[in-house]
Amino acid sequence: MKILVAYDGSEASSNAIKYVRGLLANHKSLDVTILTVACNDAPFAKDFVANPTEALNACKSYFGDKLQKVKESLEAEGHKVNTLLEFGDAAQVIVDVVKKQGFDRVIMGRRGLSTLTGFVLGSVSAKVLANVDVPVTLVK
C-alpha cells in the first residue's frame, strides 16, 4: 500500500508522523512517502520579498531541513521512507501528487480551525478530502 503523508512541521503534521510511525512498526511493507509543500506563507518569506530567488532558496532550505530530520528519525528506527519537496498551494499539490503517483491513502494533520473560519476560508484537509478518491486520515 502506498501512503502519502503531508508534513509541514506543525504540531498536527508531527502527530501525523507519529501515527505513521505506529503503522510502520506493525506493517513493514508499507510504501510511505512524506510530502512537504513549501508555500508562500513560510515564516521567513517577509524578509525576502524584494528577491524572489532568495525567497525560493530559503524556502527550499527551511522545509528541506525539516523533511530531512523527519526522514532521518524514521530511518533511525529502521523504517524506509521516501520524501518529496514540492512548491505551491498545499492542497492542490497534495491532490496532484496523489493522482499522478497512485497513492492508496493520505495521512495528514488537521489544523483545528473554528467551524466558521474553516467554512469561509476552507482548509487544506477539506480541499484534499473533496478532491481525492482515496481514504484520508486526519490526525489531531
**Residue ranges with strand state E in the chain:** 2-6, 31-38, 81-87, 105-109, 136-139
Dig out the grid coordinates for 75 from the structure.
530511518
pLDDT score recorded for residue 5: 98
What type of residue sits at position 69? K
pLDDT score recorded for residue 44: 53
CA 34, distance to chain mean position in Å, is 6
Whether residue 55 has pLDDT greater than 80: no
Fold type of domain 2-139: Rossmann fold (3.40.50)
Most confident of 17-31, 40-54, 101-115: 17-31
Provide the residue ranges of all domains of the chain, joining segments of one domain with +.
2-139
Residues written for the chain: 140
| Average pLDDT value for residue range 8-18 | 94
pTM across the whole model: 0.87
According to DSSP H, which parts of the chain are helical?
Answer: 11-26, 52-76, 90-101, 115-121, 124-131
